[in-house]
Amino acid sequence: MQNLGHNSQMTTGASGDGKQSRSTGNFVLEGRSVISATEPLIDAAEAARILRLHPVTVREMASRGVIPALKIGKVWRFRASSLDEWITGRLELSRHQLSPEERKER
């Protein structure tokens, strides 16, 4: 199993001037530091605003695996870009479905 931990410790500046800076967005994967520009996670209320649904509905959809989500502890988190991709995928699927008239013809 991979060890994936967030590195947010205080470090001394590279110039050696004794100033401290906080590293952000760095992850440690199997002892190596991986710099990533991660998109911030949003909560169910913000996801609900994007989807124009009630937050309870969004949490239920997430728990059923209908929408892309991550549960951290007891809280569901989302990425706006993942929700956008999910919406785009659903729209693409609906374009390829048969209309009621086309279903009658078959």
pTM greater than the 0.75 cutoff:
no
In a domain, residue 91? The reply is yes
53 and 75 in a common domain: yes
51 and 14 in a common domain: no
Neighbours of 87 (CB within 10 A): 13
In a domain, residue 100? The reply is no
Total count of domains within the chain: 2
In a domain, residue 25? The reply is yes
Cβ–Cβ < 8 Å for 67, 79: no
| Per-residue pLDDT tens listing for the chain (106 residues) | 444 444 333 333 344 444 433 444 555 556 665 555 789 999 999 999 999 999 999 999 999 999 999 999 999 999 999 999 999 999 888 887 756 676 566 5
In a domain, residue 21? The reply is yes
State residue 18's pLDDT score. 44
State residue 4's pLDDT score. 43
CA distances to 32, 47, 78, 92 from 83, rounded to whole Å, are: 30, 8, 7, 14
87 and 63 in a common domain: yes
In a domain, residue 48? The reply is yes
82 and 48 in a common domain: yes
87 and 53 in a common domain: yes
The whole domain housing 20 covers 4-35
85 and 55 in a common domain: yes
